[in-house]
Structure 1
Amino acid sequence: MSTVVVAPDSFKGSASATEVATALAEGWRAERPGDHVLRAPMADGGEGTLDAFEVAVPGAIRHPMRVTGPSGDGVDASWLLLPDGTALVELAETSGLGLLRRPAPHDAHTIGFGQAIAAALDAGATGLLLAIGGSASTDGGSGALTALGARLLDADGRIVPPGNRGLGRLARVDLDGLRPLPPGGARILSDVTSPLLGPSGAAAVFGPQKGATAADVPVLEAGLARFAAVASGAVGDRADVADPAAAGAGAAGGTGFGLMLWGATVSAGAAAVGEAIGLPALVGSADAVLTGEGRFDSQSAAGKVPEYVSGLAAAAGIPAYLAAGSIQAPPAAFAASAELAALSGGVDAAIADPARWAREAGAALARAHTAR
């Protein structure tokens, strides 16, 4: 009998990490019913982070609420209170791209994210974990800051509109009313290391994913640059806490930068989530680990869940197995891999029924483990 940890990320747009972990575990058990299979759904700070914590942390309590979504409509969201008093807030739940009926690259905002953070603070949270993947906006986190008490003003002293469009009119950032950090501080969970500005920044790299055209990107870039310049004057000698060139400042349309202005610090998303749910200890006492994501490609080695989990397996001296919707790069760190698209006959078929093909992948990888 083997102890097997199943720790995948979500298959974005197809199945949550919890759903994928359940299906992979079922497939594994079908081939090796005597194994002790532990589900530990993972995330890297994007969609599904809150669900992963809720499953993995005993005593975590979800707090539903209504927030202002990225287009201004009300949306149902929630935040999670952990037993140690830390609150987890996920941007994808409050201000995510999936909440838009249509992309709004200039006007989408992060106000709802800030509202959820404020609600957690009002409830007495002593620390914050801020998962910021999956943003709909390129507002530099300005919407979240306004929900936390900041004021963004134009040259006439009027509040600028939310979203990147408002940043183009920005003349002053007033942080006097900004809520203080909780005693335990705030940690940003993100797998993105991009700076705020430039060819590898928020607008250039991620703007097109949010509906920006080639003509839109320079406008979005200019808005972020103006926000960074004006904000640096607002923080004065604390400007080092919000360096637009810092790794992670460009995460989530620049939300990383906005949260740094508040005083939050950046942590590698997958590693921070793994530590919080106790994954290193689980893997250290296991005989094998199974991980995965929707698309395994050349970027998967840059802090994504499979790379993190395979590193834990290597440190523990156990095999790691990979299940992915599609595999576009050599899975060299894994003892075996299974591609849902290959099992199902195509990407569309895999997306249409991810649970079925994840079960098939789990079974295939269990057979590979038996053959070792």
Structure 2
Amino acid sequence: MKVLIAIDSFKGSISSVDGSKAISSGIRDVFVNAEIMTLPLADGGEGTVEALVHATGGHFIQKEVTGPLKEKVEAIYGILGDKKTAVIEVAAACGLPLVPANKRNPSITTTYGVGELIRDAIDKGCRELVIGLGGSATNDAGVGLLQALGFSFLNHLNEEIDLGGQGLQNIRKINSINVIPELKDCTFKVACDVNNPLYGPNGAAYIFGPQKGATEEMIKELDKGLENFAEIVLQELGKDIHHIVGAGAAGGLGGAFAGLLDAQLQSGIELVLDIIEVEKKLQGVNLVITGEGKMDGQTSMGKAPLGIAQLAKKHQIPVIALAGGVNEETSLLNELGITSYFSIVNAPMTLEEAMNSKVTYNNLRTSTKQLFRLLQAVQTGIKL
């Protein structure tokens, strides 16, 4: 029997790496000699760095950078096994969890630290960069990031604007004379799973601003700033970033990457599956086990389990999905490649208990063991 374990993290509970170990143990409890491959997955959000570093035999880099409130924070990114590709989650440098709830204010938070991570990766020889958007505390359209790479955004006095979303309305000119020269040799692939434009009713400020601490009045000002930035970019660089699909992602970072760094925005899970070459690894596999913390309607809209399931379906490989919670919407997944799905919660317990990492590990191992005991009992019929 050859089994591929490809799960996302159970967010807030257990990492994809440790979850994979639990499932492997459950299989070995029944099939001691099973051939097991593990591919930790992510969908471009939290856990992407860890998943890709482990899948490619890469390594982690710790770097002190400017945090969202301009204080110093320790951020981690990865360099993949090819030694030329860096993978960065923007939340590591400007994520919402880095800002206390009472200090959340997208008028002042900055993406400058993301640019510092990119610059560090470039200094270490990377020319291909994989960026995971999502979870940012910012609404500066990536201007802070770009400033860290050498771009200047000048006001009517020909002075550099302030960091944060509040400075966008003051931009009158873009100066790229001091942009680091290596940038022209870099390729950016950006995991982006939203399609919001840069500004307007469906733009970055109105849709994502409230969760970052923006008041109604602040949202209006931030939106004006995003619109001004887009107009200046169009005038100065001839690029219409407002209408780029996904420009409004992560407070406008999508627009910055696509418009000023010529990045390719694509589905997070498709990007991850492509990098770790999952389709090649499916050759000869009898069964795929996937999963995530909660499986529901969102899973059918491009999450990691769906991505792996659709590839497995293409090769007619059955897929078992494990999750902490499932609901009635999860049944849609049966039509999309997931053969069967199961909740690993095996007794009444609080959400806090269920999300305890040790409990999750044991529940994953136990559920897997019981499933494989069933497979063992009927394996002549299913020809595993």
TM value normalised by structure 1: 0.89
Farther-moved stretch of structure 1 (169-178 vs 3-12): 169-178
**Residue 207 of structure 1: CA displacement?**
2.5
2:160 maps to 1:154:
no
CA 1:163 to 1:344, structure 2 compared with 1: closer, same or farther past 3 Å?
farther
Find the aligned partners of 1:193 and 1:362 in 2 and give their Cα distance. Answer: 37
Find the aligned partners of 2:347 and 2:167 in 1 and give their Cα distance. Answer: 48
SS in 2 for 1:115: helix
Aligned position for 2:271: 272
Q: How many residues align?
A: 366
CA 1:300 to 1:244, structure 2 compared with 1: closer, same or farther past 3 Å?
farther
- Over the aligned positions, Cα root-mean-square deviation in angstroms equals 2.4
Find the aligned partners of 1:106 and 1:247 in 2 and give their Cα distance. Answer: 23
**Residue 368 of structure 1: CA displacement?**
6.0
Aligned position for 1:336: 340
CA contact (8 A) 2:346 2:363 kept: no
SS in 1 for 2:63: strand
SS in 2 for 1:321: strand
Aligned position for 1:356: 362
SS in 2 for 1:87: strand
**Residue 148 of structure 1: CA displacement?**
0.5
**Residue 206 of structure 1: CA displacement?**
2.6
Aligned position for 1:327: 326
SS in 1 for 2:73: strand
Farther-moved stretch of structure 1 (96-105 vs 42-51): 96-105
CA contact (8 A) 1:113 1:144 kept: yes
Aligned position for 1:76: 74
CA contact (8 A) 2:83 2:126 kept: no
Percent same amino acid at aligned positions?
33
CA contact (8 A) 1:323 1:340 kept: yes
SS in 1 for 2:160: coil
Find the aligned partners of 1:315 and 1:279 in 2 and give their Cα distance. Answer: 12
Q: Name the aligned partner's letter for residue 248 of structure 1.
A: G
CA contact (8 A) 2:50 2:78 kept: no
CA contact (8 A) 1:140 1:224 kept: yes
SS in 1 for 2:76: strand
Find the aligned partners of 1:141 and 1:369 in 2 and give their Cα distance. Answer: 51
2:166 maps to 1:165:
yes
CA 1:277 to 1:117, structure 2 compared with 1: closer, same or farther past 3 Å?
same
**Residue 3 of structure 1: CA displacement?**
1.4
Q: Name the aligned partner's letter for residue 3 of structure 1.
A: K
- Pick the structure with greater CA Rg: 2
SS in 1 for 2:29: helix
Q: Name the aligned partner's letter for residue 108 of structure 2.
A: D
Aligned position for 1:137: 138
**Residue 266 of structure 1: CA displacement?**
1.4
Find the aligned partners of 1:233 and 1:158 in 2 and give their Cα distance. Answer: 19
**Residue 156 of structure 1: CA displacement?**
2.2
CA contact (8 A) 1:126 1:182 kept: no
Aligned position for 1:308: 307
Find the aligned partners of 1:21 and 1:115 in 2 and give their Cα distance. Answer: 32
**Residue 86 of structure 1: CA displacement?**
2.0
SS in 1 for 2:355: helix
**Residue 127 of structure 1: CA displacement?**
1.8
Find the aligned partners of 1:326 and 1:200 in 2 and give their Cα distance. Answer: 31
Aligned position for 1:212: 214
> Mapping of 1:93-132 within 5 angstroms?
93-102=92-101, 103-132=104-133
Q: Name the aligned partner's letter for residue 356 of structure 1.
A: N
Aligned position for 1:87: 86
Q: Name the aligned partner's letter for residue 359 of structure 1.
A: R
Find the aligned partners of 1:198 and 1:363 in 2 and give their Cα distance. Answer: 51
> Mapping of 1:59-74 within 5 angstroms?
60-74=58-72
**Residue 117 of structure 1: CA displacement?**
0.4
Find the aligned partners of 1:27 and 1:197 in 2 and give their Cα distance. Answer: 49
Q: Deviations over 1:39-81 (max 9, x none)?
A: 11111221111111111113x2333221111121211123322
**Residue 11 of structure 1: CA displacement?**
2.4
Find the aligned partners of 2:16 and 2:228 in 1 and give their Cα distance. Answer: 38
Aligned position for 2:14: 15
SS in 1 for 2:247: coil
CA 1:118 to 1:319, structure 2 compared with 1: closer, same or farther past 3 Å?
same
Aligned position for 2:287: 288
Find the aligned partners of 2:325 and 2:172 in 1 and give their Cα distance. Answer: 46
CA contact (8 A) 1:44 1:190 kept: no
**Residue 365 of structure 1: CA displacement?**
4.5
> Mapping of 1:11-50 within 5 angstroms?
11-50=10-49
Farther-moved stretch of structure 1 (294-303 vs 109-118): 294-303
CA 1:291 to 1:368, structure 2 compared with 1: closer, same or farther past 3 Å?
farther
2:229 maps to 1:227:
yes
**Residue 343 of structure 1: CA displacement?**
5.1
CA 1:292 to 1:210, structure 2 compared with 1: closer, same or farther past 3 Å?
farther
Find the aligned partners of 2:251 and 2:345 in 1 and give their Cα distance. Answer: 31
SS in 1 for 2:189: strand
**Residue 336 of structure 1: CA displacement?**
1.7
2:249 maps to 1:255:
no
Farther-moved stretch of structure 1 (106-115 vs 84-93): 84-93
SS in 1 for 2:26: helix
2:346 maps to 1:347:
no
Aligned position for 1:188: 190
